[in-house]
Structure 1
Amino acid sequence: MDEDKGKSARRPRADALRNRERILEAAKAVFSAGGPDASLEAVAREAGVGIGTLYRHFPTREALFEAVYRREVQQLADLADQLKVDAEPCEALRRWLRANVEFVATKKGMVAALALAVDKRSDLTALSFERLTEAVGGLLERAAQAGEIRSDIGPEDVLRALIGMCYLHDKPGWQTSVLRLVDVFVDGLCRGRQGGD
Protein backbone atom coordinates (compact mmCIF):
# COMPACT_ATOMS: atom_id res chain seq x y z
CA MET A 1 0.00 0.00 0.00
CA ASP A 2 2.85 2.40 0.86
CA GLU A 3 4.38 1.53 -2.51
CA ASP A 4 1.13 2.55 -4.24
CA LYS A 5 1.16 5.87 -2.37
CA GLY A 6 4.74 6.48 -3.52
CA LYS A 7 3.77 5.80 -7.13
CA SER A 8 0.79 8.14 -7.03
CA ALA A 9 2.90 10.84 -5.37
CA ARG A 10 5.29 10.75 -8.34
CA ARG A 11 2.53 11.22 -10.91
CA PRO A 12 2.30 14.74 -12.32
CA ARG A 13 -0.43 16.82 -10.76
CA ALA A 14 -3.57 17.35 -12.80
CA ASP A 15 -2.91 21.10 -13.12
CA ALA A 16 0.64 20.41 -14.35
CA LEU A 17 -0.72 18.06 -17.02
CA ARG A 18 -3.31 20.66 -18.04
CA ASN A 19 -0.61 23.34 -18.27
CA ARG A 20 1.55 21.07 -20.43
CA GLU A 21 -1.35 20.39 -22.81
CA ARG A 22 -2.23 24.09 -22.97
CA ILE A 23 1.38 24.93 -23.77
CA LEU A 24 1.52 22.33 -26.55
CA GLU A 25 -1.76 23.55 -28.05
CA ALA A 26 -0.62 27.18 -27.83
CA ALA A 27 2.77 26.32 -29.35
CA LYS A 28 1.05 24.64 -32.28
CA ALA A 29 -1.01 27.79 -32.92
CA VAL A 30 1.89 30.23 -32.47
CA PHE A 31 4.37 28.24 -34.55
CA SER A 32 1.84 27.68 -37.35
CA ALA A 33 1.03 31.38 -37.56
CA GLY A 34 4.33 32.98 -36.68
CA GLY A 35 7.04 30.85 -38.23
CA PRO A 36 10.33 29.80 -36.65
CA ASP A 37 10.86 33.22 -35.01
CA ALA A 38 7.71 32.94 -32.90
CA SER A 39 8.85 33.47 -29.34
CA LEU A 40 8.42 31.24 -26.35
CA GLU A 41 6.97 34.27 -24.57
CA ALA A 42 4.21 34.36 -27.20
CA VAL A 43 3.54 30.67 -26.55
CA ALA A 44 3.32 31.27 -22.79
CA ARG A 45 0.91 34.20 -23.33
CA GLU A 46 -1.27 32.13 -25.67
CA ALA A 47 -1.33 29.28 -23.14
CA GLY A 48 -2.14 31.62 -20.26
CA VAL A 49 0.89 30.54 -18.22
CA GLY A 50 4.04 32.27 -17.02
CA ILE A 51 7.30 31.83 -18.91
CA GLY A 52 8.73 29.97 -15.88
CA THR A 53 5.94 27.39 -16.17
CA LEU A 54 6.76 26.91 -19.85
CA TYR A 55 10.47 26.43 -19.10
CA ARG A 56 9.70 23.92 -16.33
CA HIS A 57 7.96 21.75 -18.90
CA PHE A 58 10.22 22.54 -21.89
CA PRO A 59 13.69 23.84 -20.98
CA THR A 60 14.61 24.69 -24.62
CA ARG A 61 12.86 25.79 -27.80
CA GLU A 62 13.95 22.52 -29.43
CA ALA A 63 12.41 20.48 -26.60
CA LEU A 64 9.10 22.28 -27.13
CA PHE A 65 9.24 21.83 -30.92
CA GLU A 66 10.00 18.13 -30.53
CA ALA A 67 7.12 17.69 -28.07
CA VAL A 68 4.68 19.47 -30.43
CA TYR A 69 5.92 17.35 -33.33
CA ARG A 70 5.55 14.06 -31.40
CA ARG A 71 2.10 15.07 -30.18
CA GLU A 72 0.95 15.88 -33.73
CA VAL A 73 2.21 12.52 -35.03
CA GLN A 74 0.44 10.70 -32.19
CA GLN A 75 -2.79 12.60 -32.86
CA LEU A 76 -2.64 11.65 -36.55
CA ALA A 77 -2.10 7.98 -35.64
CA ASP A 78 -5.04 8.12 -33.22
CA LEU A 79 -7.19 9.88 -35.82
CA ALA A 80 -6.54 7.08 -38.34
CA ASP A 81 -7.76 4.52 -35.79
CA GLN A 82 -10.84 6.61 -35.00
CA LEU A 83 -11.69 7.14 -38.68
CA LYS A 84 -11.62 3.39 -39.35
CA VAL A 85 -14.64 3.21 -37.04
CA ASP A 86 -16.36 6.55 -37.72
CA ALA A 87 -16.15 7.04 -41.50
CA GLU A 88 -16.54 5.20 -44.79
CA PRO A 89 -13.17 4.10 -46.24
CA CYS A 90 -12.68 6.84 -48.88
CA GLU A 91 -13.98 9.55 -46.59
CA ALA A 92 -11.69 8.30 -43.81
CA LEU A 93 -8.69 8.62 -46.11
CA ARG A 94 -9.76 12.10 -47.22
CA ARG A 95 -10.25 13.35 -43.66
CA TRP A 96 -6.92 11.93 -42.50
CA LEU A 97 -4.99 13.52 -45.38
CA ARG A 98 -6.72 16.85 -44.78
CA ALA A 99 -5.69 16.68 -41.10
CA ASN A 100 -2.11 16.17 -42.28
CA VAL A 101 -2.18 19.54 -44.04
CA GLU A 102 -2.59 21.21 -40.63
CA PHE A 103 0.30 19.11 -39.31
CA VAL A 104 2.51 20.28 -42.19
CA ALA A 105 1.51 23.91 -41.50
CA THR A 106 2.72 23.52 -37.90
CA LYS A 107 5.87 21.76 -39.08
CA LYS A 108 6.62 24.48 -41.63
CA GLY A 109 6.30 27.08 -38.87
CA MET A 110 9.00 25.43 -36.78
CA VAL A 111 11.16 23.87 -39.48
CA ALA A 112 14.41 25.66 -38.52
CA ALA A 113 14.45 24.61 -34.88
CA LEU A 114 12.87 21.26 -35.65
CA ALA A 115 15.79 20.56 -37.99
CA LEU A 116 18.12 21.00 -35.00
CA ALA A 117 16.04 18.62 -32.89
CA VAL A 118 15.87 16.07 -35.71
CA ASP A 119 19.63 16.36 -36.24
CA LYS A 120 20.20 15.39 -32.65
CA ARG A 121 17.42 12.76 -32.67
CA SER A 122 17.42 10.81 -35.95
CA ASP A 123 14.98 8.39 -34.30
CA LEU A 124 12.41 11.22 -34.24
CA THR A 125 12.17 11.29 -38.04
CA ALA A 126 12.22 7.51 -38.35
CA LEU A 127 9.56 7.05 -35.70
CA SER A 128 7.23 9.68 -37.14
CA PHE A 129 7.57 8.34 -40.69
CA GLU A 130 6.88 4.82 -39.43
CA ARG A 131 3.80 5.91 -37.46
CA LEU A 132 2.36 7.95 -40.36
CA THR A 133 3.08 5.18 -42.89
CA GLU A 134 1.35 2.66 -40.66
CA ALA A 135 -1.63 4.98 -40.12
CA VAL A 136 -2.27 5.72 -43.80
CA GLY A 137 -1.45 2.11 -44.70
CA GLY A 138 -4.31 0.90 -42.53
CA LEU A 139 -6.71 3.37 -44.16
CA LEU A 140 -5.60 2.34 -47.67
CA GLU A 141 -5.88 -1.36 -46.89
CA ARG A 142 -9.38 -0.91 -45.49
CA ALA A 143 -10.48 1.06 -48.56
CA ALA A 144 -8.93 -1.50 -50.95
CA GLN A 145 -10.60 -4.40 -49.15
CA ALA A 146 -13.93 -2.59 -49.43
CA GLY A 147 -13.33 -2.23 -53.18
CA GLU A 148 -13.51 1.57 -52.87
CA ILE A 149 -9.97 2.39 -53.90
CA ARG A 150 -7.37 1.14 -56.34
CA SER A 151 -5.09 -1.43 -54.79
CA ASP A 152 -1.81 -0.54 -56.54
CA ILE A 153 -0.84 2.42 -54.37
CA GLY A 154 1.14 2.13 -51.15
CA PRO A 155 1.32 4.32 -48.07
CA GLU A 156 4.72 5.75 -49.04
CA ASP A 157 3.27 6.86 -52.40
CA VAL A 158 0.43 8.67 -50.67
CA LEU A 159 2.75 10.39 -48.17
CA ARG A 160 5.12 11.46 -50.97
CA ALA A 161 2.20 12.93 -52.93
CA LEU A 162 0.96 14.78 -49.85
CA ILE A 163 4.41 16.15 -49.02
CA GLY A 164 4.81 17.30 -52.61
CA MET A 165 1.47 19.10 -52.54
CA CYS A 166 2.29 20.82 -49.25
CA TYR A 167 5.86 21.87 -49.92
CA LEU A 168 5.37 23.16 -53.45
CA HIS A 169 3.00 25.81 -52.09
CA ASP A 170 4.60 28.54 -49.99
CA LYS A 171 2.41 31.57 -50.52
CA PRO A 172 -0.06 32.80 -47.90
CA GLY A 173 -3.25 30.76 -48.02
CA TRP A 174 -1.44 27.71 -49.38
CA GLN A 175 -3.51 25.37 -47.18
CA THR A 176 -6.73 26.15 -49.11
CA SER A 177 -5.10 25.21 -52.39
CA VAL A 178 -3.58 22.04 -50.94
CA LEU A 179 -6.87 20.94 -49.35
CA ARG A 180 -8.50 21.24 -52.80
CA LEU A 181 -5.67 19.15 -54.32
CA VAL A 182 -6.07 16.54 -51.57
CA ASP A 183 -9.74 16.22 -52.51
CA VAL A 184 -8.85 15.82 -56.20
CA PHE A 185 -6.20 13.24 -55.30
CA VAL A 186 -8.56 11.16 -53.15
CA ASP A 187 -11.33 11.40 -55.76
CA GLY A 188 -8.86 10.05 -58.32
CA LEU A 189 -7.90 7.14 -56.09
CA CYS A 190 -11.47 6.29 -55.22
CA ARG A 191 -12.92 6.70 -58.71
CA GLY A 192 -9.95 5.16 -60.54
CA ARG A 193 -10.15 1.67 -59.04
CA GLN A 194 -9.71 -0.06 -62.38
CA GLY A 195 -6.01 0.90 -62.40
CA GLY A 196 -5.29 -1.45 -59.53
CA ASP A 197 -7.54 -4.35 -60.48
Structure 2
Amino acid sequence: MNIRHPHDACAEAARAFSAQEEPVEALSRWLRHFARFLAAKRGLKTALHSGDPAYEGLPEYFQQRFVPVVAELLDAAAASGGIRSDVAPYDVLRAVAVIVAPDDDGYTQRLLTLLIDGLRHRGGSRIVRVTLMRVARVGAWHRSIWSG
Protein backbone atom coordinates (compact mmCIF):
# COMPACT_ATOMS: atom_id res chain seq x y z
CA MET A 1 0.00 0.00 0.00
CA ASN A 2 1.63 3.25 -1.13
CA ILE A 3 -0.30 6.01 0.60
CA ARG A 4 2.76 8.23 0.92
CA HIS A 5 2.79 9.23 -2.75
CA PRO A 6 -0.33 11.48 -2.62
CA HIS A 7 1.08 13.14 0.50
CA ASP A 8 4.35 13.84 -1.25
CA ALA A 9 2.48 15.32 -4.22
CA CYS A 10 0.51 17.56 -1.86
CA ALA A 11 3.69 18.76 -0.18
CA GLU A 12 5.44 19.32 -3.52
CA ALA A 13 2.57 21.52 -4.73
CA ALA A 14 3.89 24.22 -2.38
CA ARG A 15 6.96 24.65 -4.60
CA ALA A 16 4.81 25.15 -7.67
CA PHE A 17 2.62 27.71 -5.90
CA SER A 18 5.72 29.52 -4.59
CA ALA A 19 7.14 29.74 -8.11
CA GLN A 20 3.88 31.09 -9.56
CA GLU A 21 2.55 33.43 -6.87
CA GLU A 22 3.48 36.11 -4.39
CA PRO A 23 4.31 34.57 -0.97
CA VAL A 24 0.95 35.21 0.75
CA GLU A 25 -1.00 33.97 -2.26
CA ALA A 26 1.24 30.88 -2.48
CA LEU A 27 0.50 30.16 1.19
CA SER A 28 -3.22 30.70 0.64
CA ARG A 29 -3.32 28.45 -2.41
CA TRP A 30 -1.39 25.69 -0.69
CA LEU A 31 -3.55 25.79 2.46
CA ARG A 32 -6.64 25.42 0.27
CA HIS A 33 -4.92 22.58 -1.64
CA PHE A 34 -4.02 20.90 1.68
CA ALA A 35 -7.63 21.28 2.87
CA ARG A 36 -8.92 19.54 -0.28
CA PHE A 37 -6.31 16.83 0.23
CA LEU A 38 -7.46 16.28 3.83
CA ALA A 39 -11.11 16.24 2.80
CA ALA A 40 -10.34 13.48 0.29
CA LYS A 41 -8.54 11.43 2.99
CA ARG A 42 -11.24 11.47 5.68
CA GLY A 43 -10.91 7.78 6.54
CA LEU A 44 -7.18 8.11 7.12
CA LYS A 45 -7.59 9.60 10.61
CA THR A 46 -9.45 6.51 11.80
CA ALA A 47 -6.88 4.24 10.17
CA LEU A 48 -3.97 6.10 11.77
CA HIS A 49 -5.43 5.52 15.22
CA SER A 50 -6.59 1.95 14.58
CA GLY A 51 -3.52 0.26 16.05
CA ASP A 52 -2.76 -1.38 12.69
CA PRO A 53 1.04 -1.65 12.42
CA ALA A 54 0.85 -0.67 8.72
CA TYR A 55 -0.04 2.89 9.80
CA GLU A 56 2.29 3.11 12.80
CA GLY A 57 4.92 5.52 11.41
CA LEU A 58 2.61 7.69 9.35
CA PRO A 59 1.77 10.42 11.89
CA GLU A 60 5.47 11.22 12.29
CA TYR A 61 5.99 10.97 8.55
CA PHE A 62 3.16 13.43 7.87
CA GLN A 63 4.51 15.85 10.43
CA GLN A 64 8.05 15.57 9.03
CA ARG A 65 6.72 16.05 5.48
CA PHE A 66 4.25 18.91 5.99
CA VAL A 67 5.74 21.03 8.80
CA PRO A 68 8.82 22.08 6.74
CA VAL A 69 6.57 22.88 3.76
CA VAL A 70 4.37 25.17 5.83
CA ALA A 71 7.42 26.66 7.55
CA GLU A 72 8.88 27.68 4.17
CA LEU A 73 5.58 29.20 3.03
CA LEU A 74 5.08 31.05 6.32
CA ASP A 75 8.67 32.31 6.37
CA ALA A 76 8.42 33.65 2.81
CA ALA A 77 5.06 35.31 3.49
CA ALA A 78 6.34 36.85 6.75
CA ALA A 79 9.56 38.06 5.06
CA SER A 80 7.42 39.81 2.44
CA GLY A 81 5.59 41.61 5.24
CA GLY A 82 2.33 39.98 4.20
CA ILE A 83 1.64 38.01 7.37
CA ARG A 84 2.59 37.99 11.01
CA SER A 85 5.82 36.21 11.91
CA ASP A 86 4.83 34.55 15.19
CA VAL A 87 2.85 31.59 13.87
CA ALA A 88 4.08 28.01 14.29
CA PRO A 89 3.76 25.80 11.19
CA TYR A 90 2.25 22.92 13.18
CA ASP A 91 -0.44 25.27 14.52
CA VAL A 92 -1.45 26.18 10.97
CA LEU A 93 -1.59 22.52 9.92
CA ARG A 94 -3.74 21.66 12.94
CA ALA A 95 -6.03 24.63 12.27
CA VAL A 96 -6.63 23.49 8.70
CA ALA A 97 -7.24 19.91 9.86
CA VAL A 98 -9.84 21.13 12.35
CA ILE A 99 -11.48 23.42 9.78
CA VAL A 100 -11.91 20.71 7.16
CA ALA A 101 -15.41 19.30 7.45
CA PRO A 102 -18.05 18.32 4.94
CA ASP A 103 -18.26 21.46 2.81
CA ASP A 104 -21.78 22.71 3.24
CA ASP A 105 -22.30 25.88 1.21
CA GLY A 106 -18.60 26.74 1.21
CA TYR A 107 -18.19 26.72 5.01
CA THR A 108 -14.69 25.23 4.81
CA GLN A 109 -13.62 27.87 2.29
CA ARG A 110 -15.00 30.69 4.48
CA LEU A 111 -13.11 29.38 7.51
CA LEU A 112 -9.90 29.04 5.50
CA THR A 113 -10.30 32.65 4.35
CA LEU A 114 -10.75 33.68 7.98
CA LEU A 115 -7.60 31.77 8.98
CA ILE A 116 -5.55 33.34 6.19
CA ASP A 117 -6.86 36.82 7.01
CA GLY A 118 -5.95 36.20 10.66
CA LEU A 119 -2.39 35.34 9.62
CA ARG A 120 -2.21 38.72 7.90
CA HIS A 121 -2.97 40.55 11.17
CA ARG A 122 0.14 41.55 13.04
CA GLY A 123 0.29 42.56 16.68
CA GLY A 124 0.53 46.31 17.10
CA SER A 125 -1.35 46.86 13.88
CA ARG A 126 -2.93 50.20 13.01
CA ILE A 127 -6.29 49.03 14.37
CA VAL A 128 -4.75 48.29 17.76
CA ARG A 129 -2.77 51.56 17.83
CA VAL A 130 -5.81 53.67 16.87
CA THR A 131 -7.93 51.94 19.51
CA LEU A 132 -5.29 52.53 22.19
CA MET A 133 -4.99 56.20 21.16
CA ARG A 134 -8.77 56.62 21.43
CA VAL A 135 -8.80 54.99 24.85
CA ALA A 136 -6.01 57.34 25.99
CA ARG A 137 -7.90 60.39 24.67
CA VAL A 138 -11.15 59.32 26.35
CA GLY A 139 -9.25 58.72 29.59
CA ALA A 140 -7.71 62.22 29.41
CA TRP A 141 -11.13 63.73 28.64
CA HIS A 142 -12.70 61.94 31.63
CA ARG A 143 -9.91 63.15 33.93
CA SER A 144 -10.37 66.76 32.75
CA ILE A 145 -14.11 66.66 33.43
CA TRP A 146 -13.79 65.15 36.89
CA SER A 147 -10.82 67.20 38.02
CA GLY A 148 -12.51 70.48 37.51
Bucket of the pairwise TM-score, normalised by the shorter protein: 0.7 to 0.9
**What is the aligned partner in structure 2 of residue 96 from structure 1?**
30
Aligned positions of 1:172-191 closer than 5 A: 172-174=102-104, 176-190=106-120
Q: Give unpaired runs (5+ residues) of structure 1.
A: 1-62
Q: CA deviation at 1:121?
A: 3.7
CA distance in 2, matches of 1:188, 1:110: 28
**What is the aligned partner in structure 2 of residue 74 from structure 1?**
8
Q: CA deviation at 1:107?
A: 1.7
**What is the aligned partner in structure 2 of residue 84 from structure 1?**
18
Aligned positions of 1:104-143 closer than 5 A: 104-113=38-47, 115-116=49-50, 119-143=53-77
CA distance in 2, matches of 1:162, 1:153: 13
Q: Give unpaired runs (5+ residues) of structure 2.
A: 126-148
Pick the structure with greater CA Rg.
2
CA contact (8 A) 2:48 2:59 kept: no
Q: CA deviation at 1:120?
A: 3.3
Task: Give the partner amino acid of 1:152.
Answer: D
**What is the aligned partner in structure 1 of residue 122 from structure 2?**
193
| TM-score normalised to structure 2 length | 0.73
CA contact (8 A) 1:148 1:193 kept: no
| TM-score normalised to structure 1 length | 0.56
Q: How many residues align?
A: 125
Bigger helix fraction:
1
CA distance in 2, matches of 1:89, 1:186: 12
CA distance in 2, matches of 1:175, 1:129: 30
Q: CA deviation at 1:84?
A: 1.5
CA contact (8 A) 1:89 1:142 kept: yes
CA contact (8 A) 2:48 2:55 kept: no
Aligned-residue sequence identity (percent) comes to 35
Task: Give the partner amino acid of 1:183.
Answer: T
Task: Give the partner amino acid of 2:109.
Answer: L
CA distance in 2, matches of 1:155, 1:189: 11
